[in-house]
Amino acid sequence: DDFIIVQSTTSTQNSGLFDDLLPKFQAKTGIEVRVVAVGTGQAIKNAANGDGDVLFVHAKPAEEKFVADGDGVVRYDVMYNDFVIVGPADDPAGVAGSSDVTAALTTIAQAQAPFASRGDDSGTHKAELRLWKAAGVDAPAASGDWYRETGSGMGATLNAGTAMGAYIMTDRATWIAFGNKGDYQIAVQGDERMFNQYGIILVNPETHPGVKAELGQAFVDWVVSPEGQDAIAAYKVDGQQLFFPNAGE
Amino acid sequence: MQPDTGIIAAAMGLILSGNADLIEIVGLSLRVTLSAVILSCAIGLPLGAAVGAWRFPGRGVLAVLLNALMGLPPVVVGLAVYLMLSASGPFGPLRLLYTPTAMIIAQTILVTPIVAALTRQAIEDLQSEYGEQFASLGVGPVRRLSALLWDARVGLLTVALAGFGRAVAEVGAVMIVGGNINHVTRVMTTTIALETSKGNLQLALALGVVLLGLALVVNAAVMAVRGVSARAAHA
Amino acid sequence: MQPDTGIIAAAMGLILSGNADLIEIVGLSLRVTLSAVILSCAIGLPLGAAVGAWRFPGRGVLAVLLNALMGLPPVVVGLAVYLMLSASGPFGPLRLLYTPTAMIIAQTILVTPIVAALTRQAIEDLQSEYGEQFASLGVGPVRRLSALLWDARVGLLTVALAGFGRAVAEVGAVMIVGGNINHVTRVMTTTIALETSKGNLQLALALGVVLLGLALVVNAAVMAVRGVSARAAHA
Amino acid sequence: MRDLSDPLRPVPGSQSPAAAPILETRGLGYDAGGRVLIDGLDLTIRPCRRTVVLGANGAGKSLALRLMHGLMRPARGEVLWQGKPLDRQARAAQAMVFQRPVMLRRSVRANLRFALVVHGFAGRERALREARALEQARLTDLAHRPARVLSGGEQQRLALARALATEPRILFLDEPTASLDPASTHAVETLIDAAHAAGITIVLVTHDLGQARRLGDDVIFLHAGQVAETGPAARVLTAPSSGPARAWIDGRLYFDPTP
Amino acid sequence: MRDLSDPLRPVPGSQSPAAAPILETRGLGYDAGGRVLIDGLDLTIRPCRRTVVLGANGAGKSLALRLMHGLMRPARGEVLWQGKPLDRQARAAQAMVFQRPVMLRRSVRANLRFALVVHGFAGRERALREARALEQARLTDLAHRPARVLSGGEQQRLALARALATEPRILFLDEPTASLDPASTHAVETLIDAAHAAGITIVLVTHDLGQARRLGDDVIFLHAGQVAETGPAARVLTAPSSGPARAWIDGRLYFDPTP
Ligand SMILES: Nc1ncnc2c1ncn2[C@@H]1O[C@H](COP(=O)(O)OP(=O)(O)OP(=O)(O)O)[C@@H](O)[C@H]1O
Ligand SMILES: Nc1ncnc2c1ncn2[C@@H]1O[C@H](COP(=O)(O)OP(=O)(O)OP(=O)(O)O)[C@@H](O)[C@H]1O
Ligand SMILES: [Mg+2]
Ligand SMILES: [Mg+2]
């Protein structure tokens, strides 16, 4: 069986990137890639159990811990996209057009405008918490009030948040591919602090003897190779590039 | 992985800790589930009994439909209710989305066909015994239902428990219409799903054990009542 | 939101398109669900019948337990099966994780208690009628079960259909142990969940309608068989 | 509730054979399992008389009663109640005691009460009738027992009391004393007589020749789903003209001489 | 299968009253619903004899049969089968026809076959017995009919044939002719006689005095859950010594003079 299992997150899957990338890889190597897309935490845990050959997520500190714990061989940067804050057209907090994320978050908090957070310890959630902290707002203290932790994936949080008229932080790729936008628009974007770095790690075959090291390594190598990087850059939705390759930078 | 005893111990620890969040979540779970089961029985018992006991055109089709609706996918029900209750939906002005009420509505839709389909079968069996006697006495259609439901009550308890089982374990629909919002609509199953997606598998399992314990307590209580009622009714 | 007719039309469109992916997904859904229901019946029917028909110490407790297990949360079952089948779990070497077999195992665990609990009730009712005759004839314990199961078959079809309903609608457990891998373990319910998370609500609903149509076809087929068998068996 | 001054109700004792039939069947037929089970029954039940239905096991007596009572839809022919097709209202004026009584999963008293409530009795009236019915069936001491644990004979008595309590115009009795001890049989025959005296038309199935003689005014003799013979009990039971009736009275099997 | 040369099987005709009892009860008692229903029964069933159990409705006849057959656990006392406590094997040598026959949801033939299969018959032997039993019950023509649509009398005949087909040592019959027409009653009495002649011990409940006279060797008379009188049928049925038996034979209700 020439296949490997990649533990990844919903954002890469929902954006359609894998549907574009994997056939190219398989055409070249004959290796089938099976993607299990779950929450970042769950993906890391699954990989740590040895239930995957490659881990492909966006939560750098957790990834580094994964390698340090001996579960992964080595971590490579692959690409980044950026987070954006989307909001309803009537923009209740008046933050539309801003490119200063901490200022925008402070305004939202002061206006007590509803904000939907994933609240699931995912990469996106962790990034969001970092930004609140930088803004000096203790948002989780308002949990259940204007700050609403949906405790679910990006898609579910977008579905819920748009229905609540809440601001939501999401990654651009998921947002562009998202089908239930309603009257929502991107309100805040362009702040450097909203970069979202993806990494790829081969699961350590010494700790987890079941890992198909050779095939997995082939995938990792291809993704960070110029060929893989070009494929990532070439993936567009509605004419927009979703991911920006930065391996080896 | 830790051995299973670890999970049971963790579950025990969770219960004994008397953690306020856990109590809140368990309370909401029970409230939503029991409300949905009561509503489902209020609709499903008479509905199932009518399909089981009355003769009318389309009865067979209705029976098949009820059986098929036992396979209503929770996510689909969740979505449908979401679209109804969302601000741009017909019931948007009621502002029910992301409230326990929305969760109760979704679960009621899921559980009612189960209660109705299983009730139909139970009532059909009893009707084949009572039918001629009722016809001879000239029992009217409504009283026929109530009498059959009453005399079948022992078996219908199991039906209600099947409905309870489905409701208490349900996650897909309540996640969509409730939103799993902390302190507002977070119940046991959505918490378990959340902890799972966080990779806290042990905690998720321990919560699952607590949930099962809850189901066990409810079932034991109901069966104890059944034991008493059966003694009076059966023979 | 589009009106509901749009969804039905979209569902029709999906079916008529004969999309190869859709056919694959529907096929896998049916395969997994039917396998799980058959296994659940193979275990749950005799188990439920034994609890319903035999007198042994602990029988009441077992009955309550079966009823409570109808409330097994899918995510918990999914997790437990995952931990068993995981590379670091006891059955890791079998390499069943993220295969349809794993999904069948998880669904079987979920559905078996439902089949068993409902069977217990049905068999208990029949046993109260047949019990003395069987005792008088000296029917042994095993033949007693088979005879009761056979004579209760009309009612047990509804039980099996309840199990089918639960299995076909299930998403939480199969998602965890199957991984919703495209072309490998993607079934109707996981596809619906995926499309929902992508915000493609109309498509998700249309797929839900297709799934319900599938359930309807299976139920109608089973009930047609039941009609024939009932004519021969009942009176 | 109907009362005894109901103008439609024939005066007790008006047993003239010329009285218009209370119930008639015309070419009644019933099939099941691919067989003709009831075939062309033309029966006439005259008001305020006691008609005894006789015949071998499987002759179709119980089916005939069910058809007359409107519990089954005939495959052919029709049942006329006072000249008009049977409807739900007509059936409310009828009662039947089944060969195998159906006991609700309730107490003896609740079984009686159910029938009374269905027939619209309430309050003191219902309580009175309940008590009287229990007394008639000699079940007062067992009133709180679950009906389904009663002995065979007790169940049969309860079923009769339940049917009588609804004050029917016509009472169908399917072997009502089959499981009764001699004293209860006697008591039930007395009850039937009293009901008859109060103007209730009786249609009785029995296998007991003595009972047929004691209670029968008219006899309908069925054989293989058809009428073999009808006529006044005095004649049919002493000088039967048909082969089946003769054989039955002699306790012999009847084989059709023209197969 | 047991065969007729079984040494334990008493020789037919060995009806000496001194023969060791095949079944005895000692101080048998049974309670339900908070009442004593069976109270201190000391009964002796002698092998190869026909014991008739009589008593008013609700006297406890059916309960007594069930206790003797081991279908219910007595509250007090015990049942001895050939001097030893009843066990499952002993019950396999017994058969019973219930007052209200239980028909499996299967065809007439399948009902018979089930009993035969349970008793270990197979192949040609089973087919032969099946055919003979259908013949005995005069149900050959109805063999493919669902048993539960049979008429009351047909069901009773099937139940008897099913019990006989298993070749029991003892046969409990609870009012086996209650719903039978005269010819079938006669046929069933002949069958019972034949079974008795073949060495099967008979215990028969009936409300038919004539039948008790025709079939009874010994009589057990029950009243209110207790033994009122026992003895040879010839004596008890002509010169009963107890009040209840006298009243029963006269078709009167018996009221205990010492309440
Ligand atoms: N649904 C059915 N399918 C096939 N045969 C049936 C059905 N219902 C009744 N029968 C047959 O019709 C015949 C007449 O039945 P019915 O119950 O009327 O007999 P009966 O005269 O009342 O006999 P009994 O004296 O034994 O009560 C029987 O032979 C019975 O087997
Ligand atoms: N489980 C029970 N609970 C309460 N009372 C019961 C129960 N079972 C039987 N009885 C009562 O026990 C008495 C004896 O019943 P049994 O069936 O033995 O009577 P029987 O002598 O066979 O009468 P019959 O001639 O009417 O068949 C009846 O009065 C009946 O109501
Ligand atoms: Mg009959
Ligand atoms: Mg009895």
Q: What is the DSSP string of A138-195?
A: -GGGGBTTTEEE--S-HHHHHHHHHHHT-EEEEEHHHHHH-S--TT-EEEE---GGGE
pLDDT at A23 over 70: yes
From the list C205, A123, E112, the residue with the least C-alpha distance to B199 is A123
C194 CB neighbours in chain A (<8 A) are 13-14
pLDDT at E12 over 50: no
Average pLDDT, chain D: 89
**Domains of chain D from N-terminus onward:** 23-250 (3.40.50.300)
Question: Does residue E220 line the site of ligand 2, with CB under 6 A?
Answer: no
State the distance between the two ends of chain B, measured CA to CA, in whole angstroms: 51
Report pLDDT digits (tens) over C154-171. 899 999 999 999 999 999
Report pLDDT digits (tens) over B117-128. 999 999 999 999
Report pLDDT digits (tens) over D28-70. 999 998 899 999 999 999 999 999 999 999 999 999 999 999 9
Do the Cβ atoms of B69 and B111 come closer than 8 Å? no
Average pLDDT, chain A: 91
- Looking at residue C235, what is its pLDDT? 37
pLDDT at D102 over 60: yes
Nearest CA in chain C to A176: C198
Question: Does residue D145 line the site of ligand 2, with CB under 6 A?
Answer: yes
Candidate from B107-116, C25-34, C63-72, E248-257 with smallest mean pLDDT: E248-257
Encode A189-209: b = buried (16+ Cβ within 10 Å), e = exposed. bebeebebbbbbbbbbbeebe
**What pTM does this model have?**
0.91
Report pLDDT digits (tens) over C67-103. 999 999 999 999 999 999 998 889 988 999 999 999 9
Mean pLDDT of all residues in D176-201: 93
Across the B:D interface, residue pairs with CB atoms under 8 Å apart total: 51
Chains D and B touch (3+ CB pairs under 8 A): yes
Mean pLDDT of all residues in A182-190: 92
Residue E135 dihedral angles phi and psi, to the nearest 5°: -65, -50
**Domains of chain B from N-terminus onward:** 4-31+47-234 (1.10.3720.10)
Out of D100, D186, D250, closest to residue E100 by CB: D100
Structure tokens at D81: 């109640």
Query: Would an 8 Å CB–CB cutoff place A5 in contact with chain C?
Result: yes
Atom 16 of ligand 1, nearest CA residue: D60
Question: Does residue E33 line the site of ligand 2, with CB under 6 A?
Answer: yes
Distance from CA of B24 to the nearest CA of D (A): 42
Chains C and E touch (3+ CB pairs under 8 A): yes
Cα E148-E153-E155 angle, rounded to 5 deg: 30
- Looking at residue E18, what is its pLDDT? 58
- Looking at residue C230, what is its pLDDT? 61
- Do the chains contact at D118 and B132, CB–CB below 8 Å? no
Give bridge partners of residue D201 from the DSSP assignment.
D170
Ligand 4 center to residue D184 CA distance, Å?
14
- The residue ranges of DSSP E strands in chain B, in sequence order, are none
- Looking at residue D4, what is its pLDDT? 39
Question: Does residue E151 line the site of ligand 1, with CB under 6 A?
Answer: yes
Measured between alpha carbons, how far is residue E76 from residues B24, B208, C152, E65 in Å? Answer: 54, 49, 36, 15
pLDDT at D252 over 80: no
Mean pLDDT of all residues in A53-78: 94
Atom 8 of ligand 2, nearest CA residue: D149
Report pLDDT digits (tens) over E102-130. 999 999 999 999 999 999 999 999 999 99
- Looking at residue A2, what is its pLDDT? 86
Structure tokens at C183: 């072309």
CA gap E87, D15 in Å, rounded: 61
Measured between alpha carbons, how far is residue D27 from residues D37, D76, D202 in Å? Answer: 13, 7, 22
Model ipTM? Answer: 0.90
- Looking at residue C18, what is its pLDDT? 75
CA gap C79, B1 in Å, rounded: 12
Query: Would an 8 Å CB–CB cutoff place D145 in contact with chain B?
Result: no
- C20-53 and C188-197 helices cross at what angle (nearest 10)? 120
B73 CB neighbours in chain C (<8 A) are 168-169, 171, 188-189, 192, 208, 211-212
pLDDT at D6 over 70: no
Percent of chain B with pLDDT over 90: 64
- Looking at residue E256, what is its pLDDT? 63
Ligand 3 center to residue D63 CA distance, Å?
7
Distance from CA of B51 to the nearest CA of A (A): 38
Q: Which of the four pLDDT bands, split at 50, 70 and 90, describes residue C3? A: very low
Ligand 3 center to residue D92 CA distance, Å?
22
In which residue ranges of chain B is pLDDT below 70?
1-5, 229-235
Report pLDDT digits (tens) over A112-136. 999 999 988 888 898 999 999 999 9
Residues whose Cβ atom is located within 5 A of ion ligand 3: D 62, 99; E 151-152
Out of E88, E94, E118, closest to residue C143 by CB: E118
Out of E105, E118, E146, closest to residue C139 by CB: E118
Question: Does residue E55 line the site of ligand 2, with CB under 6 A?
Answer: yes
- Do the chains contact at C147 and E104, CB–CB below 8 Å? yes
Q: Which of the four pLDDT bands, split at 50, 70 and 90, describes residue C232? A: low
pLDDT at D10 over 50: no
In the 3-class helix/strand/coil scheme, how is A235-246 assigned residue by residue? CEECCEECCEEC
- Do the chains contact at D71 and B137, CB–CB below 8 Å? no
Query: Would an 8 Å CB–CB cutoff place E166 in contact with chain C?
Result: yes
Q: Which of the four pLDDT bands, split at 50, 70 and 90, describes residue E3? A: very low
Average pLDDT, chain C: 90
- Do the chains contact at C95 and A181, CB–CB below 8 Å? no
Query: Would an 8 Å CB–CB cutoff place D185 in contact with chain E?
Result: yes
Candidate from A182-196, E9-23, E84-98 with smallest mean pLDDT: E9-23
Mean pLDDT of all residues in E52-81: 95
- In C, residues 93-132, which contact A (CB 8 Å cutoff)? 95, 97-98
Strands E35-45, E23-32: pairing kind: antiparallel
Q: What single-letter amino acid sits at E15?
A: Q
Pocket test for ligand 2, best of D140, D148, D154 (most atoms within 8 A of CB): D154
Structure tokens at C216: 């309807």
